[in-house]
Chains A and B, each alone.
Chain A
Amino acid sequence: MNDMQFLTWVRGTGLDIAVGIFVLGVLWRLIEIYSLGRKKDLSPPREAAGASGWHTIFRRSVPPPGMVKRSPVSYIGGYTFHIGLAIVVFLFAPHILLIKDLTGLSWPALPSQFIDLATVVTMAAMVVVLFDRINKPVKRYLSTFGDWFTWTLTFLPLLTGWLAVHHLLLPYTWMLALHILSVELLLIFLPFTKLFHAFTVFGSRWYIGKINGHRGVPV
């Protein structure tokens, strides 16, 4: 297989397989989780301002009092790489073109120099949180194979994308094909690893907000 054949495959068959597994996987996992349902709470609710599932979906994006000081790397590193990922994935011109091809939707892009900077910052933040995971006893204790694996799955698209844009390490075609392949791996594994929090985070925050909101506690 030469470079063009490889690129054609990852752009065609490879992408179809990955997107197929991703979509079916996400649907399957969502059904598997949320069809378990829950019992109705029979105690009479207490009304309180700001105590609901929807409030908590937003509120949990803000650190509780005193917590940034206790774990600065988790918060600063966490915010940086999540926001950075969102910028790089959704505001880079070639990515928007791909999304337009697939869905017909389109929006303005950020200048590529800015995306370049965002990529470097995001990768740096990911390296920092990785060191924090190795360094901090609680994080190290909780870590399983899945944590190292998903870190790699998330990091590779950033790295290969950045290398491809800068024509480094490998010829452009090869690197671009590897970049797409790494994204496909991410899509395939996302529904079956902790990366699935990208979906369940909304359900979890809603539930905790709803359950505690019933007792009049905005959490």
Chain B
Amino acid sequence: MSASLQKGINALKEVIDAPIASYFNSCVHCGLCAEACLFYLETGDVKYTPIHKLEPLRRVYEQEYTLLGRLGKMVGLSKAVTDDELEEWKELVYDSCTMCGRCSMVCPVGNDIVYMVRKLREGMAVSGHAPDGIKGATKRTVEIGGPMGLKWPAVANVIKKAEAATGETINVDKPDVDYLVLLSSMEIVNFPEYLEALVKIFKKAGISFTLASDAFEATNAGIQIGASDIAKVIVSRIVNSAEKLKVKYVLSPECGHAYMAIRWEGPNLIGRPYNFQVVHVLELLDDLRKKGVLKMKDKFKDPLILHDPCQIVRRGGVLESPEPLIQAVAENYIPIVDKQKMNWCCGGGGGASAIHTDEAEALRAKAFRIKKRQIEEAGVDTMVTFCANCRIVIEEGIDHYEMNTKLLGLTELLAEHLED
């Protein structure tokens, strides 16, 4: 056994807990999880059945933590996990799993399959079986600061533009303000309007905020690849900066995995609760709406549907904010059938959008057909979402299928129609 494989197996042994043991013992092979997986449904390939993606983890569990499994291993009935096998599983654990967690919603015995995929990735990453695309993003985040290799000057540039557009001064590294605002690289590069929107809304609400030059990146590639030690380093940048600046709140951007990383995984990674609260931008906006601060001058007229990002809604628990917000700004909001916590993934979460092999891209395009159908069945030309990564993936899908769907970010849409 190679040293890296041994490390991977050890990592898996480390993450196996009572929930995982309970889940594996409860599985009755009913296959219903496949009916909730966009990769199975759009390809019809049985290997994409979610519970099957966990086979290496299941065998390590059985061989290490059950009496019968240990006996089976001793007499050679149960074969050990190999490097070849993990390499084969790479596609199942990363390319074809966006950790959207829809399978976990339908399992009749209550198996939290996405919880287990997250844990399996710990072993995959340590043993060197993560895809190159995510490895690269992780390396850039650790060494440079963000998954796309952006440095502070790029952010400073966006700040300068937002200042020019709004006529407001934007604080940098200012202590004792209400909010530390985080961005995701995607927003910095592709959707700089997000910061402008925030400036407008914060001014209206009389909330003070700052950006931090040593902690602007909210995403966490360490979590996507499944390396908790790296994830801890990345999240610590934000925690240290926020606690140094003594802010009351850290504002998670629209980006889904960023929210999962900073709000839910962060305290567990660093081993203690924070001295500040983490708020998702939609939670803040909905709060302002309830207080009457978020008044609209007019409404968006075209019929539109909402795409609920998995990590914010289904997995992050921001369930009740998106709909009232979209209803506040859109005249013709059409609720779709599978919405909110039952929504379908864009097909590129969990790091999948960073994998640029031909196979992975072709698979993503296929998986996107489920989103395409949702748009077509609703008969709309506009879709609104609130995750920068979803936006990129959906825009790729729209281009791929040459659809003329307009995709909007919710925060920007709100800012655009905000009363002056």
Contact = CB atoms under 8 A, between A and B. Distances in A.
Interface stretch (B26-34, B91-99, B205-213): B26-34
Contacts, number: 167
Contact of B109 (A63, A74, A205): A205
Contacts of B17: 36-39
B172 interface: no
Given A42-B268, A70-B35, A143 B22 contact: no
A134 to B, nearest CB: 13
Contacts of A139: 29-31
Contacts of B104: 208, 212, 219
Contacts of B401: none
A205 B26 CA distance: 10
A32 B106 contact: no
A74 B110 contact: no
A204 B105 contact: no
Interface in A24-70: 28-29, 32-39, 41-44, 46, 48, 56-57, 60, 63-67, 70
Contacts of A71: 31-32, 35
B30 to A, nearest CB: 6
A137 interface: yes
B268 A39 contact: yes
A83 B49 CA distance: 27
Given A37-B18, A70-B35, A142-B52, A201 B109 contact: yes
Interface stretch (A114-122, A157-165, A190-198): A190-198
Interface string A111-146: 000000000000000000000010011110111100
B144 interface: no
A217 interface: yes
A194 B27 contact: yes
A14 interface: no
B362 interface: no
Q: Name the residue in A36, A133, A143 with the highest tally of chain B Cβ atoms < 10 Å from its Cβ.
A: A36
B14 to A, nearest CB: 11
B30 A78 contact: yes
Contacts of B90: none
A211 interface: yes
A204 B273 contact: no
A59 B414 CA distance: 36
A11 interface: no
Contacts of B28: 194, 197
A74 B30 contact: yes
B31 A43 contact: no
Nearest to B68: A192
Nearest to B283: A46
Interface residues of A, number: 57
B397 interface: no
B379 interface: no
B243 interface: no
Interface in A152-199: 192, 194, 196-197
A38 B22 CA distance: 11
B264 A194 contact: no
Contacts of B27: 194, 197
B300 interface: no
Contacts of A39: 17, 268
Contacts of A204: 19, 22-23, 25-26, 109-112
A138 B19 contact: no
A104 to B, nearest CB: 31
A25 B65 CA distance: 15
B108 interface: yes
Nearest to A194: B28
A209 interface: yes
A66 B338 contact: yes
A217 B52 contact: no
Nearest to B106: A64
A66 B29 CA distance: 20
B314 interface: yes
Contacts of A219: 104-105, 341
A95 interface: no
B315 A207 contact: no
A80 interface: no
Given A43-B267, A142-B49, A208 B111 contact: yes
Contacts of B267: 42-44
A197 B21 CA distance: 11
Contact of B106 (A37, A38, A67, A209): A67
26 contacts: A29-B25, A33-B18, A35-B18, A36-B16, A39-B268, A41-B268, A42-B267, A42-B272, A64-B342, A67-B36, A142-B52, A196-B25, A197-B109, A201-B26, A203-B18, A204-B26, A204-B109, A207-B19, A207-B110, A208-B107, A208-B115, A215-B316, A217-B315, A217-B316, A217-B319, A219-B341
Interface of B: 16-23, 25-32, 34-36, 40, 44, 46-47, 49, 51-52, 65-68, 104-112, 115, 263-268, 271-273, 277, 314-317, 319, 337-338, 341-342
Given A67-B32, A201-B109, A206-B110, 19 more contacts: A32-B21, A32-B67, A43-B266, A43-B267, A60-B107, A60-B108, A67-B106, A70-B35, A136-B31, A139-B29, A144-B29, A194-B28, A197-B28, A200-B22, A201-B26, A204-B111, A204-B112, A211-B115, A212-B112
The 9 closest A-B pairs by CB, nearest first: A205-B110, A216-B317, A138-B31, A215-B317, A42-B267, A141-B46, A207-B19, A142-B29, A204-B110
